[in-house]
Structure 1
Amino acid sequence: MKTRRPLTPEEIQESQRLKAIYEQRKQAAKIAGRSLNQADVADACGWSGQSAFSQYATGKVPLNLEALLRMAKALDFSPAEVSPRLLKGIAEPMQPSKDMELKPIRAWDEKTPVDEDEVAVPFLKEVELAAGSGRFGIEEDDGSKLRFDKASLRANGVQFEKAKCVRVRGNSMTPVLRDGATVGVNTGLTSITDITDGELYAINHSGQLRVKQAYRMPGGIRLRSFNRDEHPDEDYSFQQMQDQEISIIGHVFWWGMYAK
């Protein structure tokens, strides 16, 4: 039997905070003349039975980002209240120290030459292959580019010429990636064997640009959205991937978006 690893002190505190929020919501529901139990929360999260929620709330298994986001929606709390650790990869703005010298903001546009320590990363876009054909392909956008400093790309193992940008469309990846968010993609990682389960990847699906969590499956691949209520998992065999022209564009190493 496979034994679970012990939780770290930080993970234990996260489960305790989650349980405290649940107890508060349960008491508030009681005062309002309603009932709330762990089975209700599990059901709202799309899990069968109460055991899944119970394992997180009692510290039997550590929290992960997907579970945290589901429970935050079900119990109406900010994910940061429970686990700032899991949110670090989503948005962690750098806070200037008192000793940090803040340089003036310099305006630039697509015509401004890049500095020696920068790379102008092109965007990928969907294009119709022939007028009215209904078939699409993906190519670089000649106009839109986003600047990255070379040190950041090196730190993420991205070769400069392999860096591309993709805009997210739709609500399938909310609340992590809203409609209009931009992701940086390492197109040097395009093989099924390059997939790390649960990581984000840009996908070419018959000429449609998609961003999904990817999982390796026996004989195929699973694509997962964060908004699983409206966008359930998609499982494809290798043959289906070939038939539907599904391929991996690359691994998402960065993302950003406006607040609204």
Structure 2
Amino acid sequence: MADDDLEDGAERAELLRLAGEGRVSLASLSAMLGRNPSYLQQFVRKGSPRKLEEGDRRKLAEFFGVDEAVLGAERDAFPPKSRDEDFISVPRLPLDASAGPGSFSAEEISFDAFRFSRRWLREMGLESADLSAIRVEGDSMEPLLRSGDEIFVDRNKRAGEGIHVVRIGDALHVKQVQLSARGRVKLVSANEAYPPIELASEEAEIIGRVVWKGGRV
């Protein structure tokens, strides 16, 4: 086997490892690149394309906070490694926001973190967001959100309609928030097996809006 083939295989293995550690699917990463959902799956499993295009490789390296060289860039083809201040840590909170019958929240203490480049966050329109990562549990938001998906919640966005993390008592839920009658809100599941919940506004605390998701293939 040629040396180039070994190097290509190492790049594919490294991408698969990074995706696994970050709990983000290859389909989600492909969508981030503006590609079809099977683009990176074919790259990893079939070696097609043989090498990532420069723009795709750069975005992936920035997303994972790694040197482009691990994804196949030549050492003299990119600038020196970014400084720590070029990256932002997004804390992972052990809240297990429920997308089903509800789960009780633990103390909001970060047990881990994702690192994202400021440039990538700016491209995603999230540069000014106050982000926390929470793992979804349950099936009430399927197929939009699946159990095990990691969601990013912007705590700066608590008003208006959209998909939000909502606290009801001690339980957290991921729901589509709709305005109802004056002083009331309706919480709607994507899964039609779960009926809507209508509450007085003071009974539901909006934690933040879901602005990004990632998960396994």
TM-score band w.r.t. shorter chain: 0.5 to 0.7
1:201 is the counterpart of 2:159: no
Is contact 1:114–1:120 with CA below 8 Å preserved after alignment? Answer: no
Aligned residue number for residue 118 of structure 2 = 150
Contact 2:28 2:215 in 1 (8 A): no
Task: Please report how far the alpha carbon of residue 249 of structure 1 lies from its aligned counterpart in structure 2 after TM superposition.
Answer: 0.8
Give deviations 1:101-138, integer Å, cap 9, x for gaps.
Answer: 243437xxxxxx983322111122349xxxxxx97555
Aligned: 1:258 with 2:211: no
Cα distance between partner residues in 1 of 2:208 and 2:105: 19
Measured on the aligned residues, the alpha-carbon RMSD in Å equals 3.4
Residues 204, 210 of structure 1: 8 Å contact kept:
yes
Match for residue 90 of structure 2 among 99, 106, 121: 121
Q: Decide whether aligned partners of structure 1 residues 139 and 100 sit closer, same or farther in structure 2, where only a CA change above 3 A counts.
A: same
Residues 9-48 of structure 1 mapped to structure 2, 5 A cutoff: none
Instruction: Judge conservation of contact 1:158–1:188 (CA < 8 Å) in 2.
Output: no
Matches within 5 A, 1:125-204: 125-126=94-95, 136=105, 138-141=107-110, 143-154=111-122, 155-159=124-128, 162-190=130-158, 194-196=159-161, 199-204=162-167
Q: Whose RCO is larger (CA < 8 A, sep 6+)?
A: 2
- Distance in 2, matches of 1:122 and 1:114, equals 19
Q: 2:31 aligns with which of 92, 99, 103?
A: 92
CA deviation vs aligned residue, 1:144-187 (integer Å, no higher than 9, x gap)? 21222223433424535x11111100111111211110111110
Count residues with an aligned counterpart.
Answer: 147
| Amino acid across the alignment from 1:223 | L
Letter paired with 2:87: E
Contact 1:158–1:186 under 8 Å retained in 2: no
Identity %: 26
Residue 247 of structure 1 aligns with which residue? 205
Larger Rg: 1
> CA 1:232 to 1:118, structure 2 compared with 1: closer, same or farther past 3 Å?
same
Report the alpha carbon displacement of residue 100 of structure 1 after superposing the two structures with TM.
Answer: 2.8
Please, which runs of 5 or more residues in structure 2 have no aligned partner?
A: 1-26, 40-48, 58-67, 72-81, 97-102
Q: Distance in 2 between matches of 1:212 and 1:91?
A: 26
**TM-score normalised to the size of structure 2?**
0.57
Distance 1:170 1:238 in 2: 24
Structure 1 spans left out of the alignment, 5+ residues: 1-87, 107-112, 128-133
Distance 1:256 1:202 in 2: 16
CA distance 1:90–1:151, change in 2 (3 Å): closer
CA distance in 2, matches of 1:232, 1:171: 13
- TM-score, length basis structure 1: 0.48
State whether residues 138 and 208 of structure 1, in contact with CA within 8 Å, keep that contact through their aligned partners in structure 2: no
What amino acid sits opposite 1:145 in the alignment? A
Q: 1:234 aligns with which of 172, 197, 207?
A: 197
Contact 2:104 2:171 in 1 (8 A): no
